[in-house]
Structure 1
Amino acid sequence: MDETKRYFLELSYKGTPFHGWQTQENVMTVQECLENALATYLRKPTPILGSGRTDKGVHANMQVCHFDHSGLPLGENFLSGINAILPKEIAVHSIRQVRDDAHARFDAVRRSYVYRIIFRKNPFLDQLAWHCFYNPDVEKMNLAAEALLRHEDFECFSKVHTDVTHFRCDIMSAHWEQKEGELLFHITANRFLRGMVRTIVGTLMEVGRGFRKPEEMDEVILSRNRANAGKAAPAKGLFLNKIEYRKEIYLD
């Protein structure tokens, strides 16, 4: 009998047509599409588990999931085969064998998101960025973003009625980057709560528009009350950008 091996898949996807990452009844999700493609290619049901969930309409420059397979090793032929089955909005970029106990979600040490804002109409980015009609004060927004590094409980930015045991996150970096015609928000942490990044962006944009003062960010976080934070930014501007793991989990 062939030995069962565990693999990490690295993939990217355009989230526009999907109802998020996680499989749900009666809607199309990224996980379901990938599991169906694996079942077709490997000729057997192959459940996967991702590093985390992305909401409806959110994109991923890099997502990681794991699955178990018994049979011949999977390599370059697998990548071309599975990509031929997947819809055009999903692409698998690499496959690596990992330790049998490696876990795409629990072994991730850092996760990074990027939120993209544009300031003029662009038909090529319509589904990939939030088109804003005002120019915020980026200096004030960066000043407010520094508050994220001073705290660890972010219940105020989480969706309500979520199934987590605590709201603590270790945010390692958070800043805005201004480019010609666009604005990018970068944030890295060990974990994120549901809806957290979009709500942070929405709150910081209120600072940038003068509706809040930068120093009020600490008060919002300490309140632990979602009602005190801003409206969540649109999903289409958000990208899961990078997942990092310790090298020792990889076997190749």
Structure 2
Amino acid sequence: MRYFLELNYRGTDFHGWQKQPNAPTIQEELERAFGVILRQPLEIIGSSRTDAGVHAEQQFAHFDVPEPLPAPDRLIHGINSVLPNSIAVKNLTLVKDDVHSRFAATHRCYQYRIVYQRNPFLVDLAHTYRPILDVQKMNEAAKLLLQYEDFECFSKIHTDVKTFICQIAFAYWEPTALGITFHIKANRFLRGMVRAIVGTLLEVGRGRMSIEQFEQIIISKNRKNAAAQAPACGLFLTEVGYEWNELLN
């Protein structure tokens, strides 16, 4: 039987979602906690493989068990009691046996949060950026993302993806009380894509890059032409969408 797991986490103390040798990860902590409570090993597959230091306000994953899980609310409470405080399980949902949390997702939304002044309450939860930015130009450049589908220029190199095609639904900057936040939604994202886009848009905002140059970077399909990635601390996975009526038994 297959279950979908909804959770959120603060990624500061972890080397990303995916398990790796000699480094703490979200996947590893979840599998350990479920193993303790269910008294059986299981593999938990995430909908998105967030990088080291990246946070998730909403993340989904799936796992298989031979029998239905009893009393989901009590089970969630038990699992949360053995998880680190930086990870929280929110819901468990029984789904069809062939549904995959990653491939069934219809869209994902990310936010990148920037504050203009150092804030002790937002340490590791926002990128402190002091230079003055032209947000209007950054939004003009961000609109260009909706006109293209190949984003190899914003992908980490030497990845095992078969295609660099992504369909972006929206991408824009919004002023906040403490700074600005970048919002972006797409059907899929490449490794390091959002942070590379943000880093490059910041160059536009500082006047170091024109809107035309930003578009040429997209057209070039060359990662070397884009700017360095923005720090991981400001990035949040905020939504993973599904057609739930097609997932449930």
TM norm structure 2: 0.97
Query: How big is the shift at 1:214?
Result: 1.5
Q: Are residues 1:121 and 2:118 paired?
A: yes
Counterpart selection for 1:46 from 42, 45, 55: 42
Q: Percent identity?
A: 53
Q: Which amino acid aligns with 1:108?
A: A
Match of 1:177, SS? strand
> Hey, what does 1:235 align to over in structure 2?
232
Please give the alpha-carbon distance, in whole angstroms, between the structure 2 residues aligned to 1:209 and 1:105.
36
Q: Confirm or deny: 8 A CA contact 1:158 1:194 kept in the other structure.
A: yes
Q: Give unmatched runs, 5+ long, in structure 1.
A: none
Please give the alpha-carbon distance, in whole angstroms, between the structure 2 residues aligned to 1:165 and 1:250.
26
Q: How is 1:66-81 mapped onto 2 (pairs within 5 angstroms)?
A: 66-74=62-70, 75-81=72-78
Q: Confirm or deny: 8 A CA contact 1:154 1:221 kept in the other structure.
A: yes
Query: How big is the shift at 1:223?
Result: 0.2
Query: How big is the shift at 1:181?
Result: 1.7
Query: How big is the shift at 1:52?
Result: 1.6
Q: Deviations over 1:96-121 (max 9, x none)?
A: 11111111000000001000000011
Query: How big is the shift at 1:123?
Result: 0.4
Question: Which region of structure 1 is more displaced relative to structure 2, 231-240 or 65-74?
Answer: 65-74
Q: Confirm or deny: 8 A CA contact 1:98 1:249 kept in the other structure.
A: no
Q: Which amino acid aligns with 2:36?
A: T
Q: Deviations over 1:19-65 (max 9, x none)?
A: 11000001100000000001111100010100020111001001100
Counterpart selection for 1:9 from 5, 11, 18: 5
Please give the alpha-carbon distance, in whole angstroms, between the structure 2 residues aligned to 1:61 and 1:72.
27
Q: Which amino acid aligns with 2:67?
A: G
Query: More helix by proportion, 1 or 2?
Result: 2
Query: How big is the shift at 1:73?
Result: 2.9
Q: Which amino acid aligns with 1:166?
A: T
Q: Give unmatched runs, 5+ long, in structure 2.
A: none
Cα RMSD (Å) of the superposition?
A: 1.0
Query: How big is the shift at 1:71?
Result: 2.6
> Hey, what does 2:134 align to over in structure 1?
137
Query: How big is the shift at 1:215?
Result: 2.4
TM norm structure 1: 0.96
Please give the alpha-carbon distance, in whole angstroms, between the structure 1 residues aligned to 2:200 and 2:46.
28
